[in-house]
């Protein structure tokens, strides 16, 4: 039996000094602790830090898009070289995986990525993923590496997603780390603030948003910090940081990919009858649609909203938004098949 998969994400603030320079003591600890975990798990690392590592080489750096891309181009090989150096002490080879959003939105490209990672694991190699900032289209970027890590975790069916943060976990009103949260709801999201480092893109709100998605897809999430001794090793055992319970789901791999990796092209608002039908695993028919919002083509993915405009599901369209709009009163006109609908 293959090992369970663990995805570990390190943000910029977790692995760099405030100046942006790589914190080599932390990188050494990451290599040591990941080497221990690799005996029992298939590991994917998602590491930020390339922009921070490279920005010192850009004169008069101000953080423009072009400067960030240039800094990433410099910083990516610097970051990977350090990881290569420290993992080599434990006889582990690492591989760089620069990802773009469309690699997850396209099912065939996603499966190729999955096969590549499996080949790396078969040879004892740990992939280190990061966004391909140098060429990523602004409109199709990951919101941050929390999203990239979540898409890998949910798409690969990971057992656990570890999100490393400089604050060590989710804090309550008294600034104490909450050890366990059974479900991410509005009260939990309300605990987050929007603080983020000057070098990073994410924050606790981002982490909780993607934690909610991951747990809904059946992946346990731990938000942890590296400051405690053996912080990562303790986190995997729910002894460091905040652990979020995985929710029970009955989705196959393709449905998990559809729910998490797809790019949303539009929305469809439905009536209460259609909501009930969807909950009973029926297909979405045109007669249950109240409004088509946005423009999408056949086979693109859209969100399904209830009458209060809450997102209740996502689906792959059997027809374009134009054709659907023209057939709203047509009986038995199937907009999305039950197999292509995922209830959220």
145 is in an annotated binding site: yes
Q: Helical H runs in the chain? A: 12-15, 24-37, 50-54, 65-88, 102-105, 107-122, 145-156, 186-189, 204-216, 231-236, 253-261, 272-279, 321-326
Q: Which residues contact 238 (CB under 8 A, 6 or more apart)?
A: 179, 180, 222
Nearest to 221 by CA among 163, 157, 179, 146: 163
Provide the total of helices (H) and of strands (E) in the chain, helices listed first. Answer: 13, 15
227 is in an annotated binding site: no
| Look-up of token digits 């539009």 | 266
291 is in an annotated binding site: no
C-alpha pair distances (Å), 321 with each of 93, 159, 328, 331, 344:
48, 37, 10, 17, 22
| Residue environment code for 286-309, b if the CB has 16+ CB neighbours within 10 A, otherwise e | bbbbeebeeebeeebbbbbbbeee
Q: Binding site for substrate: residue ranges?
A: 48, 133, 145
Q: Binding site for ATP: residue ranges?
A: 9
Q: Binding site: residue ranges?
A: 9, 48, 133, 145
């Amino acid at each position: 039996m293959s090992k369970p998969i663990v995805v570990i994400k390190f943000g910029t603030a977790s692995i760099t000094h405030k100046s942006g320079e790589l914190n080599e003591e932390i990188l050494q600890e990451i290599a040591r602790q990941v080497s221990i975990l690799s005996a029992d798990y298939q590991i994917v690392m998602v590491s930020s830090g390339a922009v921070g590592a490279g920005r010192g080489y850009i004169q008069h750096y101000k953080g423009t898009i072009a400067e960030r891309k240039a800094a990433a181009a410099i910083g990516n090989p610097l970051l990977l070289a350090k990881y290569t150096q420290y993992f080599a002490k434990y006889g582990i080879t690492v591989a760089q995986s620069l990802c773009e959003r469309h690699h997850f939105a396209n099912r065939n490209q996603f499966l190729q990525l999955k096969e590549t990672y499996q080949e790396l694991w078969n040879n004892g190699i740990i992939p280190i993923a990061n966004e391909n900032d140098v060429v990523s289209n602004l409109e199709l970027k990951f919101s941050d590496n929390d999203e990239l890590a979540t898409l890998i975790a949910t798409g690969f069916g990971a057992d656990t997603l570890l999100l490393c943060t400089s604050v060590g976990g989710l804090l309550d009103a008294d600034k104490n780390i909450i050890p366990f949260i059974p479900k991410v709801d509005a009260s939990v999201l309300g605990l987050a603030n929007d603080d983020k480092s000057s070098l990073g893109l994410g924050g606790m709100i981002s982490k909780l948003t993607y934690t909610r998605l991951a747990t809904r897809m059946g992946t346990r999430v731990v938000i942890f910090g590296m400051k405690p001794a053996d912080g990562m090793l303790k986190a995997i055992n729910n002894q460091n940081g905040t652990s979020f319970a995985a929710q029970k789901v009955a989705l196959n791999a393709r449905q998990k990919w559809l729910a998490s990796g797809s790019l949303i092209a539009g929305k469809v608002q439905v009536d209460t009858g259609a909501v009930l039908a969807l909950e009973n695993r029926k297909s979405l028919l045109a007669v249950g649609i109240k409004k088509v919002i946005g423009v999408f083509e056949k086979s693109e993915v859209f969100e399904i909203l209830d009458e209060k405009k809450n997102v209740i599901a996502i689906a792959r369209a059997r027809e374009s938004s134009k054709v659907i709009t023209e057939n709203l009163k047509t009986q038995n006109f199937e907009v999305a098949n039950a197999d292509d609908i995922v209830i959220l």
